[in-house]
Structure 1
Amino acid sequence: MSLAILIWVSHDSDRFGNRIDLRKTRFNKDKGSCQPKTNIFFLKTHKTASSTIVNILFRYGEFHNLTFALPVQSIDFALPSPFSATKVNGFTESGKKTFNIMCHHMRFMLPEVQKVMPYDTFYFTVLRNPIYQMESSFSYFKNQEPFAKAANLEDFLNNTSKYYDVKMAYSHMAKNFMTFDLGFDHNGLDSIKNVKLIQGTVEIIFDLVLITEYFDESLILLKEALCWSFDDVLSFPLNRRSNTTMKTLTLQIQENIKKWNSLDWQLYVHFNNSFWKRVDEFGMERMQREVTILQRKRTEIEKMCLQGEVAPNQLEDKSMMPYQSGIAAILGYNLKPETTYQVLCQRLVTPVIQYSSLLRLKQIRNQTKLNLK
């Protein structure tokens, strides 16, 4: 068995097997027959619109006073190291503290996550077409190796032996990034056996795999799986780049990306297919109706909340500045002044870093109150 697979299955086999047993009927015909899920693990993959999904989870958890498993330091769980439960603020081996939601960046390690999260946790993640995921990664991480010395993405792909070294601390940013996030060896063999093992293991662990390119359809499936409402999954795109930093890729570059990121590409194709099987199971006409409702509600909240999406230098409230990285220009939002739903509007556009800090302070205050009782 390869090291990549050992990362996943080197833990108690009963707990692993019960990930299957915990699956319930996928789609609910009657919302009255299900209870909203509140124990949730989201694997936040890189450059996949995952920040928008995290904002949804942050708002739901804050509104329902749920407890987040937050990193001890920084905004991720000690990347690029595999996740360890000891990196969760407030975690103890005794398990006295209960956590409901975990959704910050990590390199996935199931047995460590299971130490933190409840037994009935819902697991999900999101994948993106590796062609566009890598183009975005190059822009966002341009100032770091292995990308730093490459003139452009085409130059990097044509000269990987020159720029890429598996020993680089952040080599995962430049090859099979999603495979890495999922806990596997991003430099592993793309043999049929290894690919099927990875795909099969992800299917067992994760209750739902969303697809970035079909984001609204993904939100509908997520809403249904969690037994949430339309309002619960409303969102504005966060951490989005300006069009000025997006590059048009030739067909040759696209093919080179697929070849270089073979594990990611095969993973994406597999779960894109399974995604549409789930949509078929949900019902295509029903999906179209619900996407229309979601988009209408988003338009309504946009009119209530937003002046518009703006470049960093046009952002009026600098405290809401998204993290700027590489050569990417990450957009933010200017809000309408004194809207009826001011708090909701602010939360909808709060970047992950700032929202994480807010939640951390809230949890510290709540814990202090409990200690004083």
Structure 2
Amino acid sequence: MHIGSSLGSPHLKKKRVLVCIAVSTLLLIWTHRQTLGYDNIYNIDSIAHTPSSSTEDSTIVSNGTAFIGYVNMNQNDLGTTISTIYRHRNITNSSIHKCGIRKINVSFLKVHKAGSTTVMNIFLRFAIQHNLNIVLPRNSKGNLFNYLGFGKTLSKKRIVPLPTNESYNILCNHVVYNKTAFRSILPDDTVYVGIVRDPVSHFKSAALYYAFFRNLRKLATEIPSENVVSEFLKDPSKWGVMTHFVHNRMCYDFGIPKQEFNNDTFIEEYINDLSQDYSVMLVLEYLPESLVLMKRKLCWSTKDILYVPLNALKKQLNFELNNDDIERLKQWNSADFKLYEHFVCQLKDRIGSIGDDFDQEVEYFKSVQKQVQTFCKDTISNKRNTSVIFIPKSNWEDKFMVTNTDCALMMELEKPMMKRLIENAWSRYNASLTHER
């Protein structure tokens, strides 16, 4: 994918020079601070006391050992130019990493209500930053336009085509997994990444988000709302309510047919096959650990895996599940429980075989993640259009910076971003046809 705008006009050249000076100043001060022995990450609580970006002078705001820079310039000029400078500085290729070649061909299975919108944003940002080709739906309008296939697997008929002699790099939209279909479109060296979530938590989230709980209440007005799910789980077959998103939905997204949900032998064999297909399986309840493992597998940087939670459920849960309810849910959604338990055990086994350095890197990532998340929320909500946060060098990463442009991408909603990417992809494909003629 290709993004950015022209920087060729005299006005923009002048702006670019000014920004280069500003960024160089920030980096010089940053380097100076490093030589003084400032090695830790700043206390994010002090952000509330930083000056507004509307001050007349360029300001460096110290926060202990890392700092935020404010440069008084137009948002579009600074955002585009800093992004360009940053990309050309190649900061993401840290010399500290003892890693091989960075992987750019990745398929992420976006499982419903498993934190996958947040993780999807990680892959979209990576694709944008590195000008990669994304597997995108053909349409940019309609209720489910962001699906590569609603209840269906991947098909060339439903995706934006590429210019001649190019290949797809990143897949991360909703679609049902099918090994043959995926491998017919993606490169042979694609790394397959999935995600699972605790089935009890998943059921609760999906029941609210997809109106399953609300529909149950409409069907059983005589039952107190806090008891209606308990009554449903006693005999799910008698209710006549749509259960598409709450009945073994994770397994369905991974390609297990509904008719096999109760076939234990099929489920166990299929999950074993998934273990061979998916070299990285994220677990939502262990997301920091999962992302650090993924980072190592893909040879990515810490900045690549930063995120701000997206599409998190804000509705209040109006029902709870007691122990009897959970036992019944385990029977009804036995396939999802088997899937989850398998990959949690796999994750713990892999973590156990790595050593102390991994635990330390996870703690480092958690600290950086928390502070960048707070910084981004502050930057976007207070419209600090020219703020920059610098993260110090560590045992796992060179120093790097996060700009307001990075924050905007981290916090952009899925559908607006998807619409823009689809339209850009079509423009690029159509332009290639004109060029070929």
TM-score (norm 2): 0.66
Say which SS state the counterpart of residue 245 (structure 2) adopts. helix
Q: Does 1:219 align with 2:291?
A: yes
2:250 alignment counterpart: 178
Q: Does 1:79 align with 2:155?
A: no
Residues 53-62 or 187-196, more deviating: 187-196
1:345 alignment counterpart: 407
1:161 to 223, 237, 250: 237
1:263 alignment counterpart: 335
1: CA distance, partners of 2:410 / 2:192: 23
Contact 2:260-2:267 at 8 Å conserved across structures: no
Q: Does 1:360 align with 2:422?
A: yes
1:292 alignment counterpart: 363
Report the Cα offset of residue 220 of structure 1.
Answer: 0.5
Say which SS state the counterpart of residue 105 (structure 1) adopts. coil
2: CA distance, partners of 1:303 / 1:138: 30
1: CA distance, partners of 2:214 / 2:107: 30
Say which SS state the counterpart of residue 366 (structure 1) adopts. helix
Report the Cα offset of residue 160 of structure 1.
Answer: 1.0
1: CA distance, partners of 2:180 / 2:382: 42
1:5 alignment counterpart: none
Say which SS state the counterpart of residue 41 (structure 1) adopts. strand
1:322 alignment counterpart: none
1:122 alignment counterpart: 191
After superposition, residues 44-83 of structure 1 pair within 5 angstroms as 44-73=110-139, 74-83=145-154
2: CA distance, partners of 1:265 / 1:143: 20
The one-letter amino acid paired with 2:192 is Y
The one-letter amino acid paired with 2:177 is F
What count of residue pairs does the alignment treat as equivalent?
A: 313
Contact 2:160-2:425 at 8 Å conserved across structures: no
- Deviation per CA, 1:206-229, whole angstroms, max 9, x where unpaired? 111111110111110110110001
Contact 1:66-1:100 at 8 Å conserved across structures: yes
Structure 1 residues 288 and 362, CA gap change in structure 2 (3 angstroms): same
2: CA distance, partners of 1:246 / 1:235: 29
2:97 alignment counterpart: 31
Q: Rg bigger for which structure? A: 2
Say which SS state the counterpart of residue 275 (structure 1) adopts. helix
1:107 alignment counterpart: 176
Structure 1 residues 126 and 31, CA gap change in structure 2 (3 angstroms): same
Structure 1 residues 264 and 91, CA gap change in structure 2 (3 angstroms): farther
1: CA distance, partners of 2:318 / 2:102: 38
Structure 1 residues 183 and 335, CA gap change in structure 2 (3 angstroms): farther
2:201 alignment counterpart: 132
Structure 1 residues 40 and 149, CA gap change in structure 2 (3 angstroms): farther
Report the Cα offset of residue 293 of structure 1.
Answer: 1.2
After superposition, residues 307-318 of structure 1 pair within 5 angstroms as 307=378
2: CA distance, partners of 1:121 / 1:32: 21
Q: Does 1:306 align with 2:377?
A: yes
1:252 to 312, 324, 329: 324
- Deviation per CA, 1:18-41, whole angstroms, max 9, x where unpaired? xxxxxxxxxxxx834401100110
Identify unmatched segments of 5+ residues in structure 2: 1-95, 140-144, 388-402
The one-letter amino acid paired with 2:130 is H
The one-letter amino acid paired with 2:237 is S
2: CA distance, partners of 1:274 / 1:146: 37
The one-letter amino acid paired with 1:160 is P
Contact 1:172-1:186 at 8 Å conserved across structures: no
The one-letter amino acid paired with 2:322 is T
Report the Cα offset of residue 291 of structure 1.
Answer: 1.5
2: CA distance, partners of 1:226 / 1:217: 14
Contact 2:291-2:305 at 8 Å conserved across structures: yes
**Highest RCO, 1 vs 2 (Cα 8 Å, sep ≥ 6):** 2
Contact 1:157-1:257 at 8 Å conserved across structures: yes
Report the Cα offset of residue 301 of structure 1.
Answer: 1.7
Contact 2:133-2:168 at 8 Å conserved across structures: yes
The one-letter amino acid paired with 2:408 is Q
Q: Does 1:90 align with 2:161?
A: yes
1: CA distance, partners of 2:308 / 2:319: 23
Say which SS state the counterpart of residue 106 (structure 1) adopts. coil
1: CA distance, partners of 2:165 / 2:382: 41
Structure 1 residues 33 and 292, CA gap change in structure 2 (3 angstroms): closer
Q: Does 1:197 align with 2:269?
A: yes
Identity %, equivalent residues = 25
1:210 alignment counterpart: 282
2: CA distance, partners of 1:193 / 1:221: 30
Report the Cα offset of residue 100 of structure 1.
Answer: 0.5
- Deviation per CA, 1:59-107, whole angstroms, max 9, x where unpaired? 0100000010011231112311333232222169xx8441100111111
Structure 1 residues 303 and 139, CA gap change in structure 2 (3 angstroms): closer
Identify unmatched segments of 5+ residues in structure 1: 1-29, 309-332
The one-letter amino acid paired with 1:139 is L
2: CA distance, partners of 1:305 / 1:220: 21
2: CA distance, partners of 1:149 / 1:335: 45
2: CA distance, partners of 1:77 / 1:368: 20
The one-letter amino acid paired with 1:288 is D
